[in-house]
Amino acid sequence: MKLPHGPATRALRYVAGGASLALVLSGCTAQDDVVTLDFFQFKPEAVANFAAIIDEFEAANPGIRVVQNHVPDADTAIRTLLVKDKTPDVLTLNTNGRYGELAKACVFADLSDLPVVEQVRPAVRDIVEDLGSCDDGEVNAVPFSSNASGILYNRDLFAQYGVEVPTTWDELLAAARTFEAAGVTPFYTTVKDAWTMGPAFVNLGGALQPEDFFDRLRAEGSDVASGEVSFSKDYPEAMEKLTTLYGFGQDGAAGRDYNAGNAAFAAGESAMYMQGSYAIPAIRAVNPDVNIGSFPYPATNSPEETVVVSGVDVGVSIGRDTEHPEEARRFVEFLMSPEVVERYAQEQSAFSPLATAADSTDPALAGLAPYFEDNRIIGFIDHQLPASLPLPQYLQELVLGGRTEDFLATMDREWSKIAARTIPNEKD
């Protein structure tokens, strides 16, 4: 099926993409001197943003048509396409541990010679490089958008109860106790969705773990029990603090999911919310007037040690075996132009990964932005965990009444099992 070229057909072509990836992929050929690129896009809330970007690109590049493909379960969809050897021409992916596995499997093209690579903030570039690549020196994804994980707070409630933004762990506990005493839920928690405990884990664990923890853990192979580092040895403080914060959650948290949490926080049902910048658009969709602020997890009583956890929310890659490498690179270069990156960041309450970007003007990000701009950021430590280790479910069990010792022993045991299968033991 060939569709007319131009913005007027954008919605129709998106519907076609969502309804049948196979149909779209079958059309990825040059027809009438027009090259069609299959563009896999994983964020449902960003479909309209990318549709507008594509319109601009096509207007400037009449010989290239871009078909945006988004399906509800993007993670499963991309794996299905790869199994069928139908890697899209251009992809956006959350640049996490699964991306790293695909990069190391040489699914993506090397983009190291794109000029924009040198414009990415060094700390952001390091986060992607640490996840792995097809070969040393290769760049298999260019950061398009960065997020920041921290604690969101209701500015109006903080002002109403005279609570200052906490900068230390003790101040955070004092703030939570003040709200609790006043009958205000300190933290709205959403334990039904296991993954929503991950942000607290990565912030507290990332700030409190020993330096190079995961590199040293991998070096131990499967012999974690007798190694110098382990979850049991190095994570008790982080996990005790995590369960302490969840103790300030509302009744019935086990039956509340992420969407319920966004709606409740938007309605002013809690003073704080342990989520990152990525939740802000969904919260504002419920209540555009909610007065959101943010601050990083004060994991210790030393503010100078505080860091912000940041990840590459959207990375852009090109399929290694695309039949249209020149056109794909032209589209990626357009996507990575400073004006496109900046506009997307503003629309999605995200951070630009480019060093030349202007400071964020979103008031909801004001508490996190200085750390980002000063490179006081660390990556998501859960991206260092193998996908077969079900961290979210273990965290859920812990928060629902489990013991910290049992959680940590389970993490060590499961890591050892996986390491025995996948990590060469340097002692062998």
**Residues 213-246 pLDDT 10s:** 999 999 998 889 889 999 999 999 999 999 999 9
Q: Are 293 and 200 in contact (CB under 8 A)?
A: no
Can you give the pLDDT at residue 21?
44
How far apart are alpha carbons 395 and 239 in whole angstroms?
9
Residue whose C-alpha is closest to residue 114's, from 134, 87, 142, 92: 142
Can you give the pLDDT at residue 32?
64
DSSP conformational letter for 96: S
Q: Sort residue 123 into left (φ over 0), alpha (ψ -120 to 50) or beta.
A: alpha
How far apart are alpha carbons 184 and 267 in whole angstroms?
13
How far apart are alpha carbons 19 and 22 in whole angstroms?
9
Can you give the pLDDT at residue 395?
98
Can you give the pLDDT at residue 31?
53
Chunked into runs of 10 residues, the chain (428 residues) has average pLDDT values of: 37 39 44 88 91 98 96 82 91 90 94 95 88 94 94 98 98 98 98 96 97 94 91 98 98 96 98 94 95 98 95 95 97 97 92 87 92 85 89 97 97 94 58
Residue 260's identity, in one-letter code, is A
Can you give the pLDDT at residue 423?
61
Residue with tokens 């919260």: 283
Whole-prediction pTM = 0.79
How many Cα neighbours within 13 Å face the side chain of 129?
12
Can you give the pLDDT at residue 79?
85
